[in-house]
Amino acid sequence: MTASTTGVVFDGQRLWRSLEATFEIGRSSDGGVSRLALSDAEKQMRDRFVGSCEESGLTVSVDTVGNIFARREGTEPQLAPVLVGSHLDSQVAAGPFDGPLGVFAGLEIARALDDAGIATRRPIEIVSWTNEEGPRFAPPMMGSGAFARVLDEATVLATRDPDGISVGEELDRIGYRGATPCGGRDVDSYFELHIEQSPSLDRSGCDVGIVSGGYPAQYLKVTITGETAHSGPTPMAERRNALVSGGRIAVAIDDVGRAHAPDGKTTSTGIDVWPNRPGIIPSLVELRADLRHPDAAELERMVCEAEAACARAAEHDGVSVRCERTHAFGGVSFDEGLIALLEEEAGRLGARSVRLLSQAGHDAYNLLAVCPAAMIFCPCIEGRSHNPREDVDPARLAASVGVMLNSVLRRAQA
Amino acid sequence: MTASTTGVVFDGQRLWRSLEATFEIGRSSDGGVSRLALSDAEKQMRDRFVGSCEESGLTVSVDTVGNIFARREGTEPQLAPVLVGSHLDSQVAAGPFDGPLGVFAGLEIARALDDAGIATRRPIEIVSWTNEEGPRFAPPMMGSGAFARVLDEATVLATRDPDGISVGEELDRIGYRGATPCGGRDVDSYFELHIEQSPSLDRSGCDVGIVSGGYPAQYLKVTITGETAHSGPTPMAERRNALVSGGRIAVAIDDVGRAHAPDGKTTSTGIDVWPNRPGIIPSLVELRADLRHPDAAELERMVCEAEAACARAAEHDGVSVRCERTHAFGGVSFDEGLIALLEEEAGRLGARSVRLLSQAGHDAYNLLAVCPAAMIFCPCIEGRSHNPREDVDPARLAASVGVMLNSVLRRAQA
Could you report the per-residue pLDDT of B356-393, keeping only the tens digit for each? 999 999 999 999 999 999 999 999 999 999 999 999 99
Q: Sort out which chain A residues have CB atoms less than 8 A from B199's CB and list them.
A: 235, 238
Q: Rounded to whole angstroms, what are the CA distances from A43 to A38, A40, A46, A279, B307?
A: 6, 5, 5, 43, 46
pLDDT band at B1 (very low <50, low <70, confident <90, very high): very low
Amino acid (1-letter code) at residue B232? G
> Over the stretch A208-262, which tens digit does the pLDDT of each residue have?
999 999 999 999 999 999 999 999 999 999 999 999 999 999 999 999 999 999 9
> Over the stretch A75-92, which tens digit does the pLDDT of each residue have?
999 999 999 999 999 999
Q: Which of A196, A265, A280 to mutate to test the interface with B (most CBs of B within 10 A)?
A: A280
pLDDT band at B2 (very low <50, low <70, confident <90, very high): very low
Nearest neighbour of B270 by CB, restricted to A92, A250, A277: A277
> Over the stretch B46-67, which tens digit does the pLDDT of each residue have?
999 999 999 999 999 999 999 9
Q: A377 has which bridge partners?
A: A194, A209
Cα B63 off chain centre by: 19
> Over the stretch A283-328, which tens digit does the pLDDT of each residue have?
999 999 999 999 999 999 999 999 999 999 999 999 999 999 999 9
Q: Return the closest-CA partner of residue B22 out of B2, B40, B49.
A: B49
> Quick one: average pLDDT of A183-195?
98
pLDDT for B6: 65
> Over the stretch A337-353, which tens digit does the pLDDT of each residue have?
999 999 999 999 999 99
Tell me, yes or no, if the pTM score tops 0.95: no
Strand locations in A81-165 (E): 82-87, 124-129
The mean of the pLDDT values for chain A is 96
Distance separating alpha carbons of residues A242 and A228, to the nearest angstrom: 9
Does residue A130 contact residue A142 with C-beta atoms inside 8 Å? yes
Distance separating alpha carbons of residues A58 and A116, to the nearest angstrom: 16
> Over the stretch B285-307, which tens digit does the pLDDT of each residue have?
999 999 999 999 999 999 999 99
Burial group, residue B410, by CB count within 10 angstroms (0-12, 13-18, 19+): middle
pLDDT for A3: 43
> Quick one: average pLDDT of B255-267?
98
Q: Which of B228, B266, B365 to mutate to test the interface with A (most CBs of A within 10 A)?
A: B228
Contact yes or no for A251 and B251 at CB 8 A? yes
ipTM rounded to 2 decimals = 0.94
With a pLDDT cut of 90, the percent of chain B lying above it is: 97
Contact yes or no for A281 and B269 at CB 8 A? yes
The mean of the pLDDT values for chain B is 96
Distance separating alpha carbons of residues B293 and A114, to the nearest angstrom: 77
Percent helix, strand, coil in chain B, to 5, is 35, 25, 40
Contact yes or no for A387 and B264 at CB 8 A? no
> Quick one: average pLDDT of B337-359?
97
Query: Above 90 in pLDDT, residue B232?
Result: yes
Query: Above 80 in pLDDT, residue B3?
Result: no
Q: Sort out which chain A residues have CB atoms less than 8 A from B257's CB and list them.
A: 236
With a pLDDT cut of 70, the percent of chain B lying above it is: 99
